[in-house]
């Protein structure tokens, strides 16, 4: 699948209950990158590497309403949001598979690999999950360790815990020891 590179990227800073979110959208209102302000420098490097010709600007972006709605409790607010994750074919397959995990549910890395028809690819699935540039909308926070352990989230485990609680999926999840 070939997608035209963006000409303009807008960085919107959105206050949430768990910190300021950085939402990067293109001129077609597709999400291109997401992170938190404590990871801004890494995200800026990623955006520059993947979209070197795009003009960048800051301001209120077209996706703010959906993010505000999600954090206000409208958990389906991202269902129709367009997103473009620049990655390898395998990474994009993993990110598509993440989108099959419904709000209110979690899945292990092993379960995600099986869902993809690649039951021995748990580590590769985990690496691709961790490379997700459009987190939250592509719900990598819904992936947990085997046995229900709360593991790995680029935005920090405190945010992953909050997101799972917000979505009603935290019951049965345990902190990794």
| Residue 12 φ/ψ, nearest 5 degrees | -110, 135
Task: Tell me, rounded to whole angstroms, the distance of Cα 130 from its chain centroid.
Answer: 9
CB 29, CB 63: distance < 8 Å: yes
Question: Which position among 33, 97, 140, 164 bears the catalytic label?
Answer: 140
Cβ atoms 23, 3 nearer than 8 A? no
Catalytic, 140? Answer: yes
Active-site residues, by number, are 140
């Amino acid at each position: 699948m070939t997608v035209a590179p963006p000409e303009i990227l807008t960085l919107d800073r959105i206050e949430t209950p768990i910190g300021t979110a950085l939402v990067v959208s293109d001129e077609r209102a597709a999400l291109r990158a997401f992170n938190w302000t404590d990871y801004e420098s890494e995200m800026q490097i990623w955006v520059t590497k993947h979209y070197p010709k795009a003009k960048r600007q800051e301001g209120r972006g077209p996706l703010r309403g959906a993010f505000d709605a999600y954090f206000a409790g409208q958990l389906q607010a991202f269902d129709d949001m367009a997103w473009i994750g620049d990655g390898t074919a395998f990474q994009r397959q993993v990110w598509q598979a993440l989108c099959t995990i419904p709000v209110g549910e979690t899945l292990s890395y092993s379960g995600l690999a099986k869902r993809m028809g690649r039951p021995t690819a748990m580590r590769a699935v985990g690496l691709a999950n961790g490379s997700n540039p459009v987190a939250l909308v592509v719900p990598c926070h819904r992936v947990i360790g085997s046995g229900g352990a709360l593991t790995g989230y680029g935005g920090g485990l405190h945010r992953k815990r909050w997101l799972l609680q917000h979505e009603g999926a935290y019951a049965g999840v345990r902190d990794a020891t």
